[in-house]
Structure 1
Amino acid sequence: MAPAPGPSWGQLAAYAGPALPLAALTLPLYVILPSYYAGAIGLPLAQVGFILLIVRLADAISDPLVGLAADRFHPPLGRRRGWLALAALPAALAAFMILTPPDGASWVYLLGWGLALSLGYTAAIIPYTAWGAELADDYHGRSRVAGAREGMVLVGTLVAISVPALVEASGAGDQGDALAVLAWLVALALPLTVMLAIRALPEPAEPTRALPGLRQGLAHLAANRPFVRLLVAFVVNGFANGLPATLFLFFVARVLEAPQMQGPFLFLYFFCGIAGVPLWIAVSKRLGKHRSWSFAMLGACAIFALVPLLGPGDLVGFAAICVLTGLALGADLALPSAIQADVIDVDRLATGSRRSGLYFALWGLATKLSLALAVGLAFPLLDLAGFVAEGTGDGGLVMLVALYALVPVALKLVAIALMWNFPLDAGAHAELARSLAARDETPGRPLA
């Protein structure tokens, strides 16, 4: 029995829809809101930072709990659609409230709605991504699903960058008004796109066997060597991507001496990321997903190796780097997520059940870990090197360039070494699919 290739293009568009508002609400939370609550609202900056740290820690703790719940509990619409439907309205409400604080809002307001948004977002994103992993069983069909979703994530990120800039540049309002526009966008778009996705796409088939217990389930996770290998490579590459993401604004302002170009360069980078998604999906049909991802990382290494040659005013050169690394970003987003759906099949063969919720919860936790590592390493090292964000002169600039470009190259080479000969290619997955089909056709057959 051949694996199902996955949803139609119309269904793909419906499935990808919720990714836009989900992505649009994440950027303001950690990039715009700290300065807004400290400036316009008047909370102490240290207090705002501490509250957002608590929110991040709660977010990390909630990931595996939500993943377990999304696999084990069955709302009326199902394990994937049902959880997404239940989480959409609370997440939209929390996003609206935190983006439109009243005058004089206290730290309790920020903490309460921050925790509500964190939990609502996690309760939505984990079943949403798990649903995508179960919409197609075909090796290349999964790339289409992941690519559609991650492409829309980039569109949502562009919206989150563009809306505040357009509102303020047009004179239509200040930062608070820009956040209010984003709040209404998310509050209206998230429930609407979730409803359209639920109407357009089916709930995946329920597992034929009971889920393993916690101890046995963890043992199966540890024994899933392709998953462990992929996860380590993903964390290392995420760390590599997190460093330039964390230091991007500093690099443009201090090394290129062009702070006015921060927004345009960010837009160019993410726009090219959108173009990169279909490009790398097409390449993966010829080379395989893991090898295509490795080539994309190699290309990014070659491009980042040129960054130390840039200096004040080298805007054309940096624009070219944004274009090329943006194209590579498309592979970083779409291909690992599609490979993740494949390694879940290894667990499915061993346990007889689909635990996509738990697997994607660990995936989300790994993403947050890699970003935390980037911030935790970059800022202390910059401080030790004497770097001053608002200053002038050369203090700490060598460290800034090294962390922005050279350390990521070394990290990506490690990720490439892990993924170059990844064992679960198209041929191995086809054999895995045949084993799953044979097992499903013989319900009493022992598990592998």
Structure 2
Amino acid sequence: MTDAAASSPPPAAGRTFAWWQLGAYALPGVPLAALLLPLYVTLPTYYAQDLGVGLSVVGAVLLLARLWDVVTDPVIGVLSDRTPGRLGRRKPWMLAGLPVAVVSVWFLFVPLDFAPAAQVGWAHLLLWTVLLYTGGTMIMLPYNAWAAEMTDDYHERSRVAAVREMAIVVGTVGAMAGPALLTLERTTIMAGFAWGLTILLPLGVVACALVLPDDAKARVAGSTHRFSWSVIAGNRPFRKLIVAYFLNGIAYGLPATLFLLYVEHVLQAQDWAWPLLGVYFLCAVAGVPIWLRLSRRFGKHRVWMAAMGMAAATFWIAVLLGPGDIWWFLVVCVLTGLSLGGELALPPSMQADVIDLDTLRSGRRRSGLFFAAWGVATKVPLALAVGIAFPVLALAGFDAQADSQSATALFMLAALYALLPCAIKLLSIWLLRGYPIDADEQGRIKQRLAAGDLEGPDDGAPLSQPARAD
């Protein structure tokens, strides 16, 4: 066993949690959901249509802002891996990100309170989006990496990931309650989000930090970024997982970005938008326990493939719908919502298993670095969805501010919303074939970690005994 391993222990062996502990960990997910909903669903339409910035400009700006995460995520991930101190590695970053996120929310969501409408253009959108993404990364990345270090149990990790994702979904549904019940204007909706985040985000993060231990040790001396990334790139299960997850993120981001436009212009049922979205997310919450139970029997990756397959088999129907087809679309929302539960809960749990394999090889636990890559694979696809969808719609002649749209523009909107995501999901399923880490394999990796049976030194030298999962 190397000295590196001694200073970088695996997660708490076999640790399980009471539901109240899982609830404490999940608390930040509720306000974070209230942040994600407007960022990916409401904000693009708000700036493009209500503030008149334009579809193409908004798409380009949000894509450019997301590319900033390619820089900040690895930096914050590495630094949080190496943060020593009494508070642990993850908590200090989450607490430091709070003021950055809250201030940015106000300038981004309520811009007319700080500048005249004529000055709220692409530069304002870019600046405050970049700052909000930075603050959000300081909270979200250590928050997710922390989950991988709480326990080394294959199925307990699914519980941890599931309760966090369920809290995010519950927070999303709660964030939709006001707009759905009161049919508020988008300007009022954005102001409500700003107030809610200002109150709930600090409460959730502080409560989580006070209740749960952050007891994974840091190893300050370490390898270069180049070596770190080379190890990640050489982890075959990680490559398969993150590529499939990245593509599925685009398939998820396209409908999220285009949902309001689809309901308003294709179904011509604007008043139904928030209730339908609420049904979708409530079904996702209801589906999580089902998918978790199935994963215990069939394995996480197989059940995730099944969830994506279920979504692809039902969502394409949306391209056939037209004005007034509310009830048919409700069926689509129910079925795809149920599948979303599996798509949310299982991939992050699989990510924790992949980190164990890296620890076995390198002798150090780099959850922050891996979740930095995971964060990029989460955020960039959502930005790509905006960067792809809005310019293509503009080329097809779609004008969000026009009273009516051409048949070509409406078909392009429906195709981008429903057909393209289904095709991408099928590709993700194909890429996951032969994923090697199941419960048995993770158990073998865990046993070797507990015994100190590491495969090589933490100096970048070739490993003499490749892991079975490779």
TM-score, shorter chain, exceeding 0.5? yes
Q: What is residue 139 of structure 2 aligned with on the other side?
A: 124
Map of 1:143 onto structure 2 = 158
> Does residue 1:437 correspond to 2:447, yes or no?
no
| Residue deviations 1:237-288 (CA, integer Å, cap 9, x gap) | 1122222223323332333232332222112112211222222112111111
Higher-RCO chain (CA-CA 8 Å, sequence separation at least 6)? 2
Aligned-pair CA distance for 1:53: 5.2
After TM superposition, the structure 1 = structure 2 runs for residues 15-414 of structure 1, keeping only pairs within 5 Å, are 15-33=25-43, 52=62, 54-101=64-111, 102=113, 104-105=115-116, 106-107=119-120, 112-166=127-181, 169=184, 175-206=186-217, 210-389=221-400, 390=402, 391-414=404-427
Instruction: Label 1:115 to 1:399 Cα distance change in 2 as closer, same or farther (>3 A).
Output: closer
Shift of 1:75: 4.7
Question: Which is further off, 348-357 or 399-408?
Answer: 399-408
* Alignment-mate amino acid for residue 185 of structure 1: G
Q: How far apart are 1:37 and its partner, in Å?
A: 6.3
Change in CA separation of 1:243 and 1:94 when aligned onto 2, cut-off 3 Å: closer
1:417 maps to 430
- How far residue 192 of structure 1 moved from its aligned partner, in angstroms, is 1.5
- Give 1:300 deviation, angstroms: 1.1
**Could you say if the C-alpha distance between residues 373 and 262 of structure 1 is closer, same or farther in structure 2, counting changes exceeding 3 Å?**
same
Q: Give a deviation string over 1:343-372, Cα, whole Å, max 9, x none.
A: 011111111111111111111111222223
Which stretch has the larger CA shift, 424-433 or 198-207? Answer: 198-207
Change beyond 3 A, Cα 1:409–1:166? closer
User: How far, CA to CA, are the matches of 1:293 and 1:104 in structure 2?
Assistant: 46
Conservation of the 8 A alpha-carbon contact between 1:382 and 1:400: yes
Aligned partners of 2:258 and 2:52: how far apart in 1? Answer: 25
Deviations 1:163-186, CA, capped at 9 Å, x for gaps: 3454555xxxx6544433332221
Say if 1:210 and 1:353, in contact at 8 Å, map to a contact too: no
Name the counterpart of 2:18.
Answer: 8
Query: What is the distance in 2 between the residues matched to 1:8 and 1:424?
Result: 27
Distance, in Å, in 1 between the alignment partners of 2:239 and 2:26 is: 27
- Equivalent residues of 1:76, 1:82 under 8 A apart: no
TM-score normalised by length of structure 1 = 0.88
* Helix, strand or coil at the partner of 1:140: helix
- The CA distance in 2 between the partners of 1:37 and 1:397, in whole Å, is 21
What is the distance in 1 between the residues matched to 2:385 and 2:296? 32
Structure 1 residue 39 displacement after superposition:
8.2
Does the Cα contact within 8 Å between 2:180 and 2:275 map onto a contact in 1?
no
TM-superposed deviation, 1:383: 4.0
Among 418, 427, 439, which residue is 2:440 paired with? 427
Q: Sort the Cα spacing of 1:11 and 1:443 in 2 relative to 1 into closer, same or farther, 3 A.
A: farther
Distance 2:293 2:148 in 1: 19
In the TM superposition, what is the alpha-carbon distance from 1:138 to its structure 2 partner?
0.5
Give the AA of the match of 1:312. Answer: P
Q: Match of 2:288, SS? A: helix
CA RMSD of aligned residues (A): 3.1
1:445 and 1:54 map into 2 onto residues whose CA distance is 36
Q: Distance in 1 between matches of 2:280 and 2:164?
A: 18
Given that residues 59 and 386 in structure 2 are in contact (C-alpha distance below 8 angstroms), is that contact kept between their aligned partners in structure 1?
no
Distance change (3 Å), C-alpha of 1:67 and 1:339:
same
Aligned partner letter, 1:311? G
Q: Indicate the larger mover: 358-367 or 201-210.
A: 201-210
In structure 2, the CA distance between the partners of 1:206 and 1:155, relative to structure 1 (3 Å rule), is same
Equivalent residues of 1:6, 1:142 under 8 A apart: no
1:374 maps to a residue whose letter is A
Deviations 1:11-37, CA, capped at 9 Å, x for gaps: 100000011112212332454446656
AA at the equivalent of 1:329? L
Q: For residue 444 of structure 1, report the CA deviation from its aligned partner.
A: 9.7
Kindly tell me the number of residue pairs found equivalent between the two proteins. 443
Offset, 1:132: 1.0
Q: Is the alpha carbon distance of 1:207 and 1:424 closer, same or farther for their aligned partners in structure 2, counting shifts above 3 Å?
A: farther
What is the alpha-carbon distance in structure 2 between the residues aligned to residue 299 and residue 35 of structure 1?
Answer: 29
Residues 5, 369 of structure 1: CA spacing in aligned structure 2 closer, same or farther, 3 A cutoff? same
Code of the residue aligned with 1:70 in structure 2: it is S
> What is the letter of the counterpart of residue 82 of structure 1?
P
CA distance, structure 2, for counterparts of residue 426 and residue 65 of structure 1: 32
**Aligned counterparts of 2:186 and 2:256: Cα–Cα separation in 1:** 22
Instruction: Spell out, residue by residue over 1:305-362, the C-alpha distance to the aligned partner (whole angstroms, 9 max, x if none).
Output: 4334433322111101100101111111110111011101111111111111111111
TM-score, scaled relative to structure 2: 0.84
* Residue type at the aligned position of 1:141: E
Q: Which amino acid counterpart does residue 184 of structure 1 have in structure 2?
A: W
Deviation of 1:152 after TM superposition, in Å, equals 1.0
Q: Distance in 1 between matches of 2:410 and 2:179?
A: 30
Corresponding residue SS for 2:154: coil
Comparing 108-117 and 326-335, the one that deviates more: 108-117
Are residues 230 and 84 of structure 1, via their aligned partners in 2, closer, same or farther at CA, if it must alter by over 3 Å?
same
Name stretches of at least 5 consecutive residues in structure 1 with no aligned partner. none
Q: 1:14 to 1:208 in 2, by over 3 A?
A: same
Q: Which region of structure 1 is more displaced relative to structure 2, 5-14 or 122-131?
A: 5-14
- CA deviation after TM superposition for structure 1 residue 377, in Å: 3.2
Give distance in 1, aligned partners of 2:341 and 2:399: 33
